[in-house]
Amino acid sequence: MVLRTINELAYPPTAVPAEQINFAVLELVSNSLRAHREKAVADPVLVEISGADSQLLIRIIDRGGGFDLSRLPYRFDEDVSHIDLMSENFVAYRASYDNSRFGMGLVATRRVFPGFRLYFVDQAMQPCRWPSKFIVGTVVELPIPLEPEPPAEAATEVADVEVAS
């Protein structure tokens, strides 16, 4: 159902192809659903899509309790273009989860969406620093620049012009 719904979305023209947007959203929703399942959370995972100020904003909101960024197979603040998905850290990370997690979803998403933002929230949806006993969930925001609309074709006027000789 989630896959079908995501694939039926029609986005306005953006700098990011729809397939890459859908991949990122599906990865993030999958991560959120797994967190909900592991922590027996019955609340829904929310996906909000809005457009304003020449950008599309996709926000994924869960109540999965957040996660420790230091447990990822790379430094989260590291430039994503330098992250090696085949490094020993990734191999060890995958092995520690019996290859049921690959650690690539956030990296791939961050590579496509330079404005990627992740933060943890409390019950009132206010941002919290990790670690905090008040964290109830995670919010990921993907701002995507909209393609500028092509200029309207100028109307061509036909006028009689007299040329003096």
- 39 vs 52: which has the higher pLDDT: 39
DSSP letters of 70-132?
GGSSS-TTS-GGG--TTSHHHHHHHHHTTTS--S-HHHHHHHH-TT-EEEEE-TTS-EEPSS-
Q: How confident is the model at residue 45 (pLDDT cuts 50, 70, 90)?
A: very high
Residue 92, Cβ neighbours under 10 Å: how many?
Answer: 11
Residue 81 has pLDDT above 80, yes or no: yes
DSSP state of 154: P
CA angle in degrees (0–180, nearest 5) for 66-31-88: 90
- Mean pLDDT across the chain: 89
Residue ranges of domains in the chain, CATH in brackets = 2-145 (3.30.565)
Report which of 13, 3, 16, 4 is spatially closest to residue 143, judged by C-alpha positions.
16
- 117 vs 149: which has the higher pLDDT: 117
Q: How confident is the model at residue 122 (pLDDT cuts 50, 70, 90)?
A: very high
